[in-house]
Amino acid sequence: MAGGADEAADRRLMRRALALARRGRGWTDPNPMVGCVLVRDGRIVGEGYHARVGGAHAEAAALERAGDAAAGATAYVTLEPCSHQGRTPPCADRLVEAGVARVEAAMADPDERVSGRGLERLRKAGVEVNTGALGDTAEALNAGFVKRARTGWPWVTLKLAASLDGRTATSSGESQWITSEAARTDVHRLRHGHAAIITGSGTVMADDPSLTARIPEGGAHPLRVVLDSELRTVPGARVVTGPGRCLVVAGHQASAERRQALEAAGTEVMAVPADGDGRLNLAAVWDELGRREINSVLAECGATLAGSMLFGGWVDRLVTYQAPTIIGAGGRAMFAVEAITSMAERIELDVLERREIGPDWRITAKPSVQC
């Protein structure tokens, strides 16, 4: 961190700004989550966060609350103030006009339309600017926004629920319910925090999931994406008929008649190339989702797609819910992949968190293999 009158106070106030930013989770896409705290003479005079896409940015919300008290204040912002005209006016200009004396930004904006320009505009106007306070935390908060800005691809979380012996279903295919109601409630909050949920046609045919975010405060329903090379998804499937939007991704050779039936049911159908094994090209899928400004994707799928994603390096984060139950060797495994012959081929995980969710354990990890 460069400069700052009191580093401990700066970090404390930035933590407050980050806590405010988290309130926008699930509502701000394709924008990042941002929080802002305005402090003058050691007292918070205004604070705010970006609550919804199209709504006021965090800086504007904080300035509105501060009024004339913003003059001479320090602004603690979790992301570099924007300098371009988007859905709302530039925040850097608003801070200058309000007479803010100092800006502490946790990180620079990776969006090429901003990327240092907001900070430079502030400096040219005579505002003291420092960056880096809790920058790693700020970047982790907006991992999807940051990744899409840098690579064009969304941040991908693979979620699985399994027994203690790593089985996702019995030998007959029964999977409801391995984990507890508390874990299932937690999954709905996980869905709410992602812009899209992706699954395969096999899961749709076997389980007919709705893939919506059902939480007490009314979750945002992410875009539902079904990978279905042969368009086996029926127009009456719950992913098609449920609230929110559904996108079915097919191969170029898929039936025109099936496509028309899905489109008549209100579903968008898109074709992408297939790999040599006939499976849809995942890079093409991520390219398309990135073009649609999808920052984050939650994969809830069967063993085949889960294996392809994990061993293909497409997974940024793995979230598993492990129940204290045993299903046995006949049950379905978490990943369907070719057998490895040496320990060198295994995928190692950097465990980020272990947490009890009711009687179950939620383990969050970062895979060692990533694109």
In tens, the pLDDT along 217-246 reads 776 789 999 999 999 999 999 999 998 899
Q: Can you spell out the DSSP letters for 225-289?
A: EEE-TT----TTSHHHHSSS-EEEEEETTS-HHHHHHHHHTT-EEEEE-B-TTS-B-HHHHHHHH
The one-digit pLDDT tens for each residue of the chain (371 residues) are: 444 458 888 999 999 999 999 999 999 999 999 999 999 999 999 999 999 988 999 999 999 999 999 999 999 999 999 886 666 678 999 999 999 999 999 999 998 877 889 999 999 999 999 998 899 999 999 999 999 999 999 999 999 999 988 888 877 776 778 899 999 999 999 999 999 999 999 999 988 999 988 877 776 789 999 999 999 999 999 999 998 899 999 999 889 999 999 999 999 999 999 887 778 999 999 999 999 999 999 999 998 999 999 989 999 999 999 999 998 887 788 888 777 778 888 889 999 999 999 999 999 999 987 76
The rounded distance, in Å, linking the Cα atoms of 67 and 49 is: 16
Do residues 240 and 264 make contact, with C-beta atoms less than 8 angstroms apart?
no
Which entry of 7, 47, 59, 353 is annotated as an active-site residue?
Answer: 59
**pTM attached to this predicted model:** 0.90
Q: What are phi and psi of 202, to 5 degrees?
A: -60, -45
Q: Is 59 a catalytic residue?
A: yes
Q: Give Cα separations from 320 to 212, 260, 317, 323, 327 (angstroms).
A: 19, 37, 10, 10, 16
Omega before residue 30 within 30° of 0, cis: yes
